[in-house]
Structure 1
Amino acid sequence: MNHSIKVYRGEFLESTHAIHVAVVNVKGELQYSYGDPMRAVFPRSSMKPFQAVAVVETGAADAYQFEEKDLSLICASHSGEKFHRNGVASILGRIHLEEEDLQCGTHIPRDIESYNELIRNGGSLTPVYSNCSGKHSGMLTAVVHMNEDVQSYREITHPHQQRILHVIEHVCSFPKSEIDISVDGCGVPVHCLPLENIALGFARLATPFDWESSHTAEHLDKVRNAMMEHPEMVGGTDRFDTDLMRVFNKRLVAKAGAEGVQCIGDVETGLGIAIKVEDGNGRATSVAAMEVLKQLGIGDKHLYEKLAQYIEAPVLNARKDKIGRITADFDLVKRQEAVQS
């Protein structure tokens, strides 16, 4: 049995999570794996950097004077902090649309203080609080720039969703005819492809010019730089993606996805990492990711000390007392391609 991540209550093993890992180089060669690296996965929000590439390729980001912070924000699963919400409002203002044009729905933001402030002021939740409001504002920017229909931008048949599909096909080297499509939590299409191909996408996001010289590589480079320069926009306060990118200081690009997905690209080695927690529980992702980085020799003790809460994640009770821990217990398998490289 694949009991890769162990959850302890006190000193007692209470639960386990199985994981799948694929580590791929920019050529598409599987270097290391654990579990099933070919497991079909919906990467969920981990695809946001590639969805952002589709915005950049239309010329919309330049036309509407996107700064790096804006570009990072359209890759975000943000916490709904004030600077996230202000960023989305700024983008909407530039394209002369209203918050009601965001079709992402809404939910209580991760930043509870923002929610409490809203309630104290007698307000109600609006789409800008959605963790996907940045992505949707980016999509709308491209749609407005291309003079396309705003109301149907979520539909897979919409030209912009087809542009996204083309980017994913190209960067992940997986035929779009074989990419299964469903609907993400925020209402837009979500794409299913093998974990290995998702990892390949992140290898190419990390080192696009080692892959090819093209406009797509330039756009990947632009998106990656924005995320690494402004990691606070991608997640927020006390978020794994944000803290990992900040601590590694422009070496790693990271993007989590719902249902236990975590993806990372390493600028120095050109490796892409994709992780899927089999039961979809996101509490296992940071622990698994940090163990993968350790086993690959990415980073050092000094950096790991700054990320200690993600290496062995605490289990907290309702009083915020630490009453257990989440640990990793697995060994990556070196693949034949890595042995021959």
Structure 2
Amino acid sequence: MTDTTLIQEYRSGVLESAHRGHICIVNDKKQVVYSAGDPHFRTFTRSAAKPLQAIPGIRAGIVDAYDFSQEEIALMVSSHRSEAFHRNTLEQMKEKINLDEGGLVCAPSFPLHEESRTEYIRQQGDKRRLLHNCSGKHMGVLAYSKLKGYDLASYADPNHPVQQEIKQVISQLGEIDPSDMAAGVDGCGFPVFALPISTMATGFLKLACPDLIEDEETRKAAEMITAAMNRAPEMVGGTGRVDSVLLHDDNIVAKGGFQGVFCLALRKERLGISFKVLDGSDEEWGLIVKSILTQIGYDNEETLQRLTEQFPGEIRNDARNVVGKAESAFILESHA
């Protein structure tokens, strides 16, 4: 199946650009119930996999071992922007684990959040590995490796015991054979897998509806992770980020990844949703999510209003004047 236009952008009423991609929505009977484009399109999970990657350490007991708070658990699955509240909590995590920051394989970075970056540099701050937007994930895996006595230097190697366990979790929750999980290297140095977006939707459905997870310890870990995500939504992304906006709704589990991949799931409706913007952009996520939720009849008006306010679809120039609009261009195909 071919891709489809998801978002169109107009400047002064003239079509200027279009963003194409694929959408998949699955139910708890493992059926694709809605789609746009190819519901089985294969792409790398990127950071959308972080809630799954956190499961091995959480189920092994790192929360009790290091006295992690819900905010710290949320940072383990985050793509944080290094805002002040992120940085403060990351420092607490580092102290609890007693880690050498130089042991993180993610590259030294400045904050991604613009105002935070300006403030940080003004204070003569240097790039740090702790400020990389994946540092929470790395510290979670290092905490687990340290607890188990595994080698810390090779924690990001695909053959490391924790990475093998992560692969197993993704395979089990996504219901895909490990041999069908094409491997690559993520931007932060971690192993990353290319999966059908239907597999991603299935994995997120189980995060939101953990009764679908057979193993009790894995189920408890999923419950703990998603509870922390909803308890501390700004830790997961940051101010104004789509996943953080959605996580204020206790019915939703959501996490985005680089290069246009986004996953969410609805607890009450028991639906898993994933989509891929083919040009890799994330600027359209809010509009795409709002259109998906509207088309399937999602009834939380507060969440829909929050999306509208945060992502109004206005295109502004450098002086912040409205010069155009962006709007949804897809209609979900029902497979009921």
Q: TM-score range by the shorter chain?
A: over 0.9
Cα deviation, residue 240, structure 1: 1.1
Question: 2:174 corresponds to which residue?
Answer: 172
SS at match of 1:83: helix
Question: 2:165 corresponds to which residue?
Answer: 163
Distance of 2:52 and 2:65 partners within structure 1: 19
SS at match of 2:244: helix
When structure 1 is superposed on structure 2, of 119-128 and 251-260 the one drifting more is 119-128
Question: 2:247 corresponds to which residue?
Answer: 245
When structure 1 is superposed on structure 2, of 86-95 and 29-38 the one drifting more is 86-95
Question: 1:20 corresponds to which residue?
Answer: 22
Cα deviation, residue 299, structure 1: 3.1
Offset from partner CA, 1:54-95 (integer Å, 9 cap, x none): 211222222111121111110100111111112122111112
Q: 2:110 touches 2:128 (CA, 8 Å); kept in 1? A: no
Question: 1:7 corresponds to which residue?
Answer: 9
TM-score (norm 2): 0.95
Distance of 1:322 and 1:65 partners within structure 2: 48
When structure 1 is superposed on structure 2, of 144-153 and 280-289 the one drifting more is 280-289
Question: 2:53 corresponds to which residue?
Answer: 51
Q: Does 1:264 align with 2:264?
A: yes
- The partner residue of 1:206 within 205, 208, 223 is 208
Question: 1:305 corresponds to which residue?
Answer: 305
Distance of 2:215 and 2:153 partners within structure 1: 35
Superposed, 1:1-341 pairs within 5 Å as 2-212=4-214, 214-246=216-248, 248=249, 250-309=250-309, 312-335=312-335, 339=336
TM-score (norm 1): 0.94
Q: 1:286 touches 1:311 (CA, 8 Å); kept in 2? A: yes
When structure 1 is superposed on structure 2, of 109-118 and 78-87 the one drifting more is 109-118
Give the counterpart letter for 1:314 in structure 2. E
Give the counterpart letter for 2:266 in structure 1. D
Give the counterpart letter for 1:279 in structure 2. D
**Residue segments in structure 2 that go unaligned for 5+ positions in a row:** none
Q: 1:287 touches 1:310 (CA, 8 Å); kept in 2? A: no
SS at match of 2:318: coil
SS at match of 2:188: coil
**Residue segments in structure 1 that go unaligned for 5+ positions in a row:** none
SS at match of 1:4: strand
43 and 50 in structure 1: CA distance in 2 versus 1, 3 angstrom threshold: same
Count of residue pairs the alignment pairs up: 334
Distance of 2:312 and 2:6 partners within structure 1: 13
Instruction: Provide the alpha-carbon RMSD of the alignment.
Output: 1.5
